[in-house]
Chain A
Amino acid sequence: MAGIFNFLASPSRFRRLSERLYPYTIFLMVLFLILGLWYGIYSSPPDYQQGETVRIMYVHVPAAWMAMMIYFSMTLMSIFSLVWRHPLADLLAKESAPIGAMFTLIALVTGSIWGKPTWGTWWVWDARLTSVLILFFIYLGHVALIKLFDDEEKGSKAAAILTIIGAINLPIIKFSVDWWNTLHQPASVMRLDGPSIHIDMMIPLIFMAFAFLFYYLSFLFINTQAELYKRRVKKIYLQNLMRKEK
């Protein structure tokens, strides 16, 4: 176990592996996106209450799942970075945050568009909506905090601490609809007694969730590669500069 962990923790090894993997993740993303959009827009039925508005869910729910999943993986990376001091863990957390922020924003905006015709309002300050808005601000804080420090290592450390503190928001988001009366409805898919959503609506939902997951992986790979190359260029530049001065 520790062997695999150490193997992947080497940045250059990760770069080579991700360079080989990312064409496949992009292919899977496009495949699932086509399938998910096809099922979501054409081949799934309208809802008995909401009518066609239900189709917003096929973007909204997977985006919200991704917002939480990415934050959860960032929390794990932050623990690895603080305890084991792996440089790759910091890097992956740094590259994950903007993608997570984007998915959170998508969930908030699509939820708002769905809320207007269904609930009769764009926004309410109930526990679920507010806690997701806080998640969005934590993501932005993560991006800003790293930039704030001149020394990126120090910035990453501060950001890792912020991420671990903010992780307490995750169970609050998940269970807010059960703990407090909220306008937002309780979970339909991830619940103990099985999903309360019809299979024809579940299929596009799952396809879109996979499309978003592979989107995340693809852009995590690509952005991390770019960052690693950027660091290498910087290192070579500095080495040349020092050689000239000698």
Chain B
Amino acid sequence: MNIARIKRKKRLFIIFLAFLALSISGFLILNASRDSLIYFYSPSEILEKQGLQEKIIRIGGLVEENSVSYKNSTRIEFNVTDGNKKILVTYIGILPDLFREGQGVICEGKLNALGTFEANRILAKHDENYMPPEVAEKLKKSGKWKGE
């Protein structure tokens, strides 16, 4: 083996080692700061966690079927569910176009003392399924509709 080749191997090894060390430290940092990296909590996580009252947080889940009720023209109440637990959300304001029952939603606001979530911002979550309307109709009719 000539010297150039040994040097090349050494450089490759250093890069490999440095990248490995970086990946491990990156993984540890990201793992430790999970709480600030997740954009929203699910209703189950909210009910498990303590001390969230009066802090601005976000919850995400599906708008429960048949739970949306309008108290007056702009005040709305609905349940957000993750299929396991649910939380009552109240909101005053304009809703995004995609908001409807069975649709994913993210609410930003505070949990009050009664356990109701007072939202001051609502975002609609879009899922990863893309299809033409006719196909969606057919799927619903044939009973092959997944989710929602």
Residues on A lying within 8 angstroms of B by beta carbon are 45-50, 54, 57, 79, 82-84, 117-121, 124-127, 164-165, 167-168, 172, 179-183, 185-188, 191, 196-198, 200-201
- A82 CA to B15 CA in the complex, in Å? 9
Report whether A120 and B128 are in contact in the complex, using a CB–CB cutoff of 8 Å.
no
With A82-B15, A165-B22 already in contact, the answer to whether A119 and B128 are too (CB < 8 A) is no
Q: List 8 A-B contacts (CB under 8 A).
A: A48-B133, A48-B136, A121-B123, A172-B26, A180-B37, A183-B125, A185-B126, A188-B129
Q: B27-54 CB contact bits vs A (8 Å, 1 = yes)? A: 0001000100111111000000000000
Can you add 17 more A-B contacts, CB < 8 Å, to A46-B133, A82-B15? A45-B133, A46-B132, A47-B130, A79-B12, A118-B124, A118-B126, A119-B98, A120-B98, A124-B123, A164-B15, A167-B19, A180-B37, A180-B39, A187-B128, A191-B128, A197-B129, A201-B131
Q: For the complex, is B135 an interface residue (Cβ under 8 Å from A)?
A: yes
- A102 CA to B120 CA in the complex, in Å? 35
Report whether B123 and A127 are in contact in the complex, using a CB–CB cutoff of 8 Å.
no
Q: For the complex, is B8 an interface residue (Cβ under 8 Å from A)?
A: yes
- A180 CA to B39 CA in the complex, in Å? 7
- Smallest distance from the beta carbon of B1 to chain A beta carbons, Å? 15
Q: For the complex, is B112 an interface residue (Cβ under 8 Å from A)?
A: no
With A82-B15, A120-B124, A181-B39 already in contact, the answer to whether A198 and B97 are too (CB < 8 A) is no
Q: Could you say which of A45, A124, A181, A185 contacts B127, with CB atoms under 8 Å apart?
A: A185
- Smallest distance from the beta carbon of B142 to chain A beta carbons, Å? 15
- Smallest distance from the beta carbon of B35 to chain A beta carbons, Å? 10
Report whether B123 and A120 are in contact in the complex, using a CB–CB cutoff of 8 Å.
yes
Q: Could you say which of B18, B41, B106 contacts A183, with CB atoms under 8 Å apart?
A: B106
Report whether B8 and A48 are in contact in the complex, using a CB–CB cutoff of 8 Å.
no
Report whether B131 and A48 are in contact in the complex, using a CB–CB cutoff of 8 Å.
yes
Which residues of A have CB within 8 Å of B122? 120
Report whether B125 and A185 are in contact in the complex, using a CB–CB cutoff of 8 Å.
yes
With A46-B133, A180-B37 already in contact, the answer to whether A188 and B128 are too (CB < 8 A) is yes
- Smallest distance from the beta carbon of B83 to chain A beta carbons, Å? 15
- Smallest distance from the beta carbon of B72 to chain A beta carbons, Å? 21
Q: For the complex, is B85 an interface residue (Cβ under 8 Å from A)?
A: no
Most chain B beta carbons < 10 A, residue from A126, A167, A181, A185: A181
Q: Could you say which of A50, A124, A168, A198 contacts B23, with CB atoms under 8 Å apart?
A: A168
- A182 CA to B18 CA in the complex, in Å? 30
Report whether A48 and B126 are in contact in the complex, using a CB–CB cutoff of 8 Å.
no
With A127-B39, A181-B39 already in contact, the answer to whether A83 and B11 are too (CB < 8 A) is yes
